[in-house]
Amino acid sequence: MVNDKLLHPESIAVIGASNNTMKPGGKLVKNLVDHPFRGKLYVVNPKSKEIQGIPAFSTVEDLPSVDLAILAIPAPFCLHAVEVLVAQKNTKAVIIISAGFGETSEEGKKLEQQIAQVANRFGACLIGPNCIGVMTPHHASVFTTPIPPLVPGGCDFISGSGATAVFIMESGIPKGIRFANVFSVGNSAQTGVEDVLAYLDETYKPGVSSRVKLLYIENIDNPDKLLFHASSLVRKGCKIAAIKAGSSSAGSRAASSHTGALTSSDAAVEALFRKAGIVRCYGREELTTVAGVFMCKELKGKNLAIITHAGGPGVMLTDALEDGGLHIPQIPDSPAKQSLKEKLFEGSSVENPIDFLATGTAEQLGDIVDACENDFDVDGMAVIFGSPGLFPIRDVYELLNEKMKSCRKPVYPILPSIINVKEDVSYFLSHGNVNFPDEVLLGRALTKVIHTPAPATSGSFMEGIDLKAIRAIIEQAKEGYQPPGIIHQLFDAAGIPRVKEIVVTSETEAVLSSLNIGFPVVMKVVGPVHKTDVGGVILNIRNVAQVRKEFHHLKEIKGAEGVMVAQMASGTELFLGAKYEQDFGHVVLCGLGGIYVEVLKDVASGLAPLSLEEAGSMLRQLKSYKILKGYRKQEGVNIPQFAEIIVRLSNLLRHATEIKEIDINPLLGNETEILAVDARVRVGKSSNEYS
Amino acid sequence: MVNDKLLHPESIAVIGASNNTMKPGGKLVKNLVDHPFRGKLYVVNPKSKEIQGIPAFSTVEDLPSVDLAILAIPAPFCLHAVEVLVAQKNTKAVIIISAGFGETSEEGKKLEQQIAQVANRFGACLIGPNCIGVMTPHHASVFTTPIPPLVPGGCDFISGSGATAVFIMESGIPKGIRFANVFSVGNSAQTGVEDVLAYLDETYKPGVSSRVKLLYIENIDNPDKLLFHASSLVRKGCKIAAIKAGSSSAGSRAASSHTGALTSSDAAVEALFRKAGIVRCYGREELTTVAGVFMCKELKGKNLAIITHAGGPGVMLTDALEDGGLHIPQIPDSPAKQSLKEKLFEGSSVENPIDFLATGTAEQLGDIVDACENDFDVDGMAVIFGSPGLFPIRDVYELLNEKMKSCRKPVYPILPSIINVKEDVSYFLSHGNVNFPDEVLLGRALTKVIHTPAPATSGSFMEGIDLKAIRAIIEQAKEGYQPPGIIHQLFDAAGIPRVKEIVVTSETEAVLSSLNIGFPVVMKVVGPVHKTDVGGVILNIRNVAQVRKEFHHLKEIKGAEGVMVAQMASGTELFLGAKYEQDFGHVVLCGLGGIYVEVLKDVASGLAPLSLEEAGSMLRQLKSYKILKGYRKQEGVNIPQFAEIIVRLSNLLRHATEIKEIDINPLLGNETEILAVDARVRVGKSSNEYS
């Protein structure tokens, strides 16, 4: 639980403060002093009267009342200190930076749990242990550097790893990324990444709180909480980018060996992020580049102007953006274009990229930006301006700084000359701007942002789903793979259309069933396992005479217990399945069946429950979507019905979490209807059922 | 033409030298002075007696004999100066940095051509005009900064754009990338990127010349030359990475508007790079990261150890590498592993990643690297070591520097704390090492390098190709789309198997033909264009009686000129085609037919002529390769025969460049044989035939 005392304390005490700034307890005090905290700062050290010029208390007991305490003392002493603080000093927020807890041993794990219990009992927030601390615009309570610029409009950043948080800031600072609140949650004894995000959501004030949230996550403990608050923040207008490390199986092993945490399946993470509207990143450079995009004004369309004084980077950026589905539209002829052209040097190009040559001036850049802002049909601009090192280009960056502020459209600055005009770039960043030193990395980040869907809307409810029946079937179902009868009942209760199948034992029943189902039908022997091997499947039966004949034929097969008469379905083979992931719930996968799933791995995933909109978006994501729609002479499938079946399945699963795996394979579909032909359903009821 | 006087001049003259170092002619002299050139340096300026402390000549005529001249005078004066230099001063190398030539006007174009003619006449090398110049370990003849470290073991770098060259160096220098020879070819009036590469190939001395070549190309003027010399260099042990800007159509437009050059089709570039063994990059950051990989020892397998003192980056790197097909194998138990574990702090992990904790020491790092070098079954190591900013970590980087030198296996250093331990990182780089500040960008670069194939071997010759016949057929062929007869002759001459087809006009002929071909056969009406619409195609004819009957039926169709009896082929639909690209030659495309080509775009490309090895590699590249091999119950196709047909086609095309487009669609294949069923061939003979 995060609270306001953590973010806006009026007093801070550092327990284990030191004069040695090469030690965490020393560096922490130095950071608090160097990045002034305006409240009262207390320090506790049993041996020194004074720490870095601040009079020291000998023990925690000696302290006056204090809002926030930061512990940099050995693990075994922490429990007592926290007890004293929360019980006697009215301390409502505690950060434990000390290591030696759950990350090293079982006893350490127990110790941190005890501390969390104490904090919980007194309604105090506990951050850590084993973390680098917390930074806000009010206080820099971390033992590490660098301390980035801390301003209310910067990024909120929550990290599951302290060292990685440092490295991410090292990557962001040179790009001008500024921060608001930085949380390193360490072992998350009480407060995890999701909890901090929940607090940021619950206390979100439009126009006051930071619009940008960055997350580094090694393990998602509470996917529902993350989904709920991330979606809520994005709906409020926030932008969220996150790294979830451990996407490969070897990466998961690495994450596990490091944090001792179980790592969640990557498909579930992928589905969760899409559903929440989180931009998924895979590295630090990518995360801080996306953060830079977020710090700029919002891009509200896909058309960009590229303004450059050098050809090469303009071409490479064009390639990256077009490759990612954005457009660099040619600027059509107009008086505005003509008038701009006249303001530029001969040889300049007012196509797109707009190239105003190596000799281009600040004034010309201003004219171009104004034309893009007011006259040209583009949604944003990327401005590339470096220097061969002959002279300073301060005037250009002054102009660009002004335009960054005054334009309604986003302007993405690409200032590649981080050596030649280092000072000019620093000047530009010091005015609160970001820089993208590499245009292609910017292009890929922009692409990633533009392709992240909005958070899913709710509304997965669908008529004709009999929840009571579903629960009754599931409660009576045995563990393991389910027989066809149970599967039929489940599908019927959820309104999932399936081929009609009737098991019969007499010739008359067979004939009546076939008439009921309608020709052509399939007849199968019931009893033998490998039906086709014993000639027990007869396709395409077209009349009553054939039914009579085949009934007798099938009944004579060894082990025959009966005969099944089934509807003969045909059409394109589809795939729909789901897997229950511990904590995440059901990850639903869909696609075209056969080789599309098995060889080409062309599958879309979503996290149940799914809305019709989400199901539609999953289908559109498929590479084979064109085939679903009907390609050339090949008939397509009823896509709205496929989406509806996906939603129905996700409704069924939502109320039957005992279903651990389900494969509907195949569904057969054509333009009029889609029918489930065969399915495998595994039910697991024990609590230690593997997921 | 490049020559030794350009790289190792004993005297250099700067024409248009200036005291104003904010002007190109001033900065150029300053660079030559600051990065000492040991030969004689002359300056020419009509107005000053002395330029930056160097006595000045008033005119070019006054100069003594000089090896290399650099012109920074207005374009109109350049021709005369070059004439004097090459004719009277024995100048064998000229760099023109002045702009105002072909990039601005037609007259400028003529002027630079005239200058090139003069240079050619006297056997002099001409670089530029409109370039930043040339740098070698002997002289820094550029008017820009930064001047990177110039050492014989650095990268050779050839750039088609001066500004982009500057920006690429700005990106590379912070990573420790060092350079040997840097060439900015500008308008390439005489010497283009390919020509410089040819020189580097022809003068390559193993152990002396740089092993690494970087290229930035906006337009490939001479693909054959690039292919020949790039392949040759790679075969000699070099590594080449290149950006070809303008891969998207909008990017090409941008490139064209900038350079006025025709941009080559991207599929042809892709095919050329693969054939040459060039690592293709798409941005500056990517190019300099790949350059960093090249500067390390060669990775000879796919197994890497990740050594880290922080979990997060280790996990992200693992994800990136596994995602790209490299392996981070678990370290199996062994005495060496046990012994290493005992040397590390408690809580360290000797799985892989090997995590030696935030408190890990230089000594421990040394032990881990030694174990990876000597005991563990890995091919290389990535070492991640940053700092939270408490104390310097010079000892760790000293150790790492030693290990970089002594290990036989490559060590990739990831030092993320470029702010916290800036000085320590600089120290590390100053010893000739590179740094990869972002582990994921390194992971992707390594992946890219490891997946670039070796240059294609020659040996595309194939038995049974009748070159004389091919030439005779092509010479007699009319322009445009070819009739079936011509296509059959071409295929037969090239040994490309096709379905048997015989056109007949009598019932007897039809019967004999069907017996000759073998049942089942297909019969088609000859004459009408839309055969199926008029019922003019009869499939699956199984006996003589049917042949007789259908012959009469088909003959009665309006417009029937005859009847074709053809072999009835069946099997998997394959695709094979080629397109002639101006300058590049034929780009051959192959894949599975139908939706695989048309919807899923699963196509591999190669540049003719192709060897069997290349054709095989193209097929293995396909996502649908598993389907070609036969998937589940579905029969595969004869892959060696498919590869052979690809080679035969490429042989045919090599000797018939008049074929501008060919589509064999479909080929039908099964496990025993593949047959061309239908083909479209377009011949273009006029020299201005669009490509």
Region A275-279: what's the mean pLDDT? 96
Is the pLDDT at B28 greater than 50? The verdict is yes
Confidence class of residue B444 from pLDDT cuts 50, 70 and 90? Answer: very high
Is the pLDDT at A347 greater than 50? The verdict is yes
CATH number of the CATH domain containing A118: 3.40.50.720
Q: Which residue of A has its CA nearest to B352?
A: A254
Q: What percentage of chain B has pLDDT greater than the value 70?
A: 97
pLDDT tens for each residue of B612-624? 999 999 999 999 9
Give contacts of A421 with chain B, Cβ < 8 Å.
Answer: none
Check whether residue B524 and residue B442 sit in a common domain.
Answer: no
Q: What is the pLDDT of residue B598?
A: 83
Cβ–Cβ below 8 Å for B243 and A438 = no
Check whether residue A291 and residue A318 sit in a common domain.
Answer: no
Is the pLDDT at A687 greater than 90? The verdict is no
DSSP state letter for B653 = H
Q: Is residue A143 part of a domain?
A: no
Number of neighbouring beta carbons within 10 Å of residue B405: 12
The shortest C-alpha distance from A116 to chain B (Å) reads 23
Check whether residue B580 and residue B563 sit in a common domain.
Answer: no
Is the pLDDT at A245 greater than 50? The verdict is yes
Question: How far out from the chain centre does Cα B185 lie?
Answer: 19
Give contacts of A624 with chain B, Cβ < 8 Å.
Answer: 595, 599-600
Q: What is the pLDDT of residue A125?
A: 98
Alpha carbon separation from B596 to A591, B590, B592, B624, B639 (Å, rounded): 16, 10, 6, 8, 17
Identity at B624, one-letter amino acid code: S
Least trusted range by pLDDT, from A25-39, A412-426, B519-533: B519-533
Cβ–Cβ below 8 Å for B311 and A255 = yes
Counting Cα atoms < 13 Å in the Cβ hemisphere of B380 gives 20
Pick the closest to residue A18 from A34, A10, A29 (CA basis): A29
Is the pLDDT at B259 greater than 50? The verdict is no
pLDDT tens for each residue of A496-510? 999 998 889 999 999
Region A262-272: what's the mean pLDDT? 74
pLDDT tens for each residue of A191-217? 999 999 999 999 999 999 999 999 999
ipTM, 2 decimals?
A: 0.92
CATH number of the CATH domain containing A633: 3.30.470.20
Q: Which residue of A has its CA nearest to B99?
A: A358
Q: What is the pLDDT of residue A150?
A: 97
Is the pLDDT at A273 greater than 70? The verdict is yes
Tokens of A431: 């005015």
Q: A573-593: string of b/e by CB count within 10 Å (b at 16+)?
A: bbbbbbbbbeebbbbbbbbbb
Which class for B122: exposed (0-12), middle (13-18), buried (19 or more C-beta within 10 A)?
middle
Q: What is the pLDDT of residue A317?
A: 97
Check whether residue B493 and residue B427 sit in a common domain.
Answer: no
pTM: 0.93
pLDDT tens for each residue of A140-190? 999 999 999 999 999 999 999 999 999 999 999 999 999 999 999 999 999
Region B544-561: what's the mean pLDDT? 92
Which class for B423: exposed (0-12), middle (13-18), buried (19 or more C-beta within 10 A)?
exposed
Is the pLDDT at B688 greater than 60? The verdict is no
Tokens of A13: 């005490």
Q: What is the pLDDT of residue B460?
A: 67
- Terminal-to-terminal C-alpha distance of chain B: 29
Domains in chain A, number: 5
Q: What is the pLDDT of residue B673?
A: 92
Check whether residue B370 and residue B242 sit in a common domain.
Answer: no
Q: Is residue A524 part of a domain?
A: yes
pLDDT tens for each residue of B127-151? 999 999 999 999 999 999 999 999 9
Q: What is the pLDDT of residue B250?
A: 66
Alpha carbon separation from B634 to A635, B435, B571, B626, B628 (Å, rounded): 22, 50, 10, 11, 10
Interatomic CA distance for residues A309 and A355, integer angstroms: 5
Q: Is residue B629 part of a domain?
A: yes
Q: Which of B567, B601, B618 is the last residue in one of the domains? A: B567
Cβ–Cβ below 8 Å for B389 and A27 = yes
Confidence class of residue B258 from pLDDT cuts 50, 70 and 90? Answer: very low
CATH number of the CATH domain containing A238: 3.40.50.261
Is the pLDDT at B260 greater than 60? The verdict is no
Give contacts of A283 with chain B, Cβ < 8 Å.
Answer: 316, 320, 438-441, 443
Which among B249, B322, B440 has CB closest to A248?
A: B322
Contacts of A277 (CB under 8 A, 6+ apart): A230, A231, A234, A240, A452, A453, A454, A455, A456
The shortest C-alpha distance from A585 to chain B (Å) reads 24
Check whether residue B440 and residue B508 sit in a common domain.
Answer: no
Cβ–Cβ below 8 Å for B599 and A627 = yes
pLDDT tens for each residue of B414-437? 999 999 999 999 999 999 999 999
Pick the closest to residue B329 from B277, B402, B378, B270 (CA basis): B378
pLDDT tens for each residue of B457-472? 876 677 889 999 999 9
| Residue-by-residue DSSP string for B237-283 | T-EEEEEE---SHHHHHHHHHHH-PPPPPHHHHHHHHHHHTPEEE-S
Q: Is residue B47 part of a domain?
A: yes
Q: What is the pLDDT of residue B509?
A: 93
Domain that holds residue A632: 572-683
Check whether residue B44 and residue B153 sit in a common domain.
Answer: yes
Check whether residue A445 and residue A328 sit in a common domain.
Answer: yes
Q: Which of B567, B587, B605 is the last residue in one of the domains? A: B567
Cβ–Cβ below 8 Å for A322 and B22 = no
Is the pLDDT at B512 greater than 60? The verdict is yes
Residue for token pair 């608001």:
A180
Q: What is the pLDDT of residue B492?
A: 95
Cβ–Cβ below 8 Å for A144 and B251 = no
Cβ–Cβ below 8 Å for B347 and A623 = no
Confirm if A498 and A675 have CB atoms less than 8 A apart. Answer: yes
Is the pLDDT at A112 greater than 90? The verdict is yes
State chain A's mean pLDDT as an integer: 93
Which among A24, A144, A245 has CB closest to B319?
A: A245
Q: What is the pLDDT of residue A18?
A: 98
pLDDT tens for each residue of B163-206? 999 999 999 999 999 999 999 999 999 999 999 999 999 999 99
The shortest C-alpha distance from A456 to chain B (Å) reads 27
Check whether residue A427 and residue A290 sit in a common domain.
Answer: no
Least trusted range by pLDDT, from A180-184, A264-268, A656-660, B385-389: A264-268
Q: Is residue B327 part of a domain?
A: yes
The shortest C-alpha distance from A513 to chain B (Å) reads 32
Pairs across A and B, CB distance < 8 A: 315
Check whether residue B628 and residue B547 sit in a common domain.
Answer: no
The shortest C-alpha distance from B598 to chain A (Å) reads 10
Interatomic CA distance for residues B140 and B160, integer angstroms: 18
Cβ–Cβ below 8 Å for B145 and A388 = yes
Q: What is the pLDDT of residue B541?
A: 94
Which among B132, B161, B598 has CB closest to A311?
A: B161
Is the pLDDT at A383 greater than 90? The verdict is yes
pLDDT tens for each residue of B562-619? 899 999 888 999 999 999 988 889 999 999 988 888 888 899 999 999 999 999 999 9
Interatomic CA distance for residues B22 and A388, integer angstroms: 10
Cβ–Cβ below 8 Å for A313 and B627 = no
Interatomic CA distance for residues A296 and A176, integer angstroms: 11
pLDDT tens for each residue of A92-103? 999 999 999 999
Is A409 strand, coil or helix? coil
Confirm if A97 and A131 have CB atoms less than 8 A apart. Answer: yes
pLDDT tens for each residue of B181-191? 999 999 999 99
Q: Is residue A139 part of a domain?
A: no
Check whether residue B32 and residue B128 sit in a common domain.
Answer: yes
Is A543 strand, coil or helix? coil
Region A240-262: what's the mean pLDDT? 66
Check whether residue B105 and residue B160 sit in a common domain.
Answer: yes
Q: B588-602: string of b/e by CB count within 10 Å (b at 16+)?
A: bbbbbbbbbbebbeb
Q: Which of A451, A476, A492 is the last residue in one of the domains? A: A451
Q: Is residue B200 part of a domain?
A: no
B201: left (phi over 0), alpha (psi -120 to 50) or beta: alpha
Residues in chain A: 691
Cis preceding linkage at B152, omega within 30: no
The shortest C-alpha distance from B311 to chain A (Å) reads 6
Which among B286, B313, B328 has CB closest to A440?
A: B286
Give contacts of A310 with chain B, Cβ < 8 Å.
Answer: 161, 163-164, 167
Q: Which residue of B has its CA nearest to A322?
A: B248
Region B215-225: what's the mean pLDDT? 94
Confidence class of residue A582 from pLDDT cuts 50, 70 and 90? Answer: confident
Which alpha helices (DSSP H) does A260-407 contain, by range? Answer: 266-276, 284-295, 311-323, 335-343, 362-374, 394-406
Q: A514-527: string of b/e by CB count within 10 Å (b at 16+)?
A: beebeeebbbbbbb
The shortest C-alpha distance from A123 to chain B (Å) reads 31
Cβ–Cβ below 8 Å for B315 and A389 = no
The shortest C-alpha distance from B250 to chain A (Å) reads 7
Residue A196: phi and psi, rounded to 5, are: -65, -40
Q: Is residue A140 part of a domain?
A: no
Is the pLDDT at A638 greater than 80? The verdict is yes
**Which residues pair with residue A480 across a beta bridge?**
A683
Q: What is the pLDDT of residue A261?
A: 35
Which among A23, A216, A624 has CB closest to B312?
A: A216
Which among A145, A258, A323 has CB closest to B311?
A: A258
Q: What is the pLDDT of residue B254?
A: 57
Pick the closest to residue A407 from A299, A283, A513 (CA basis): A299
CATH number of the CATH domain containing B492: 3.30.1490.20
Region B274-294: what's the mean pLDDT? 97
Give contacts of A167 with chain B, Cβ < 8 Å.
Answer: 310, 312-313, 386, 416-417
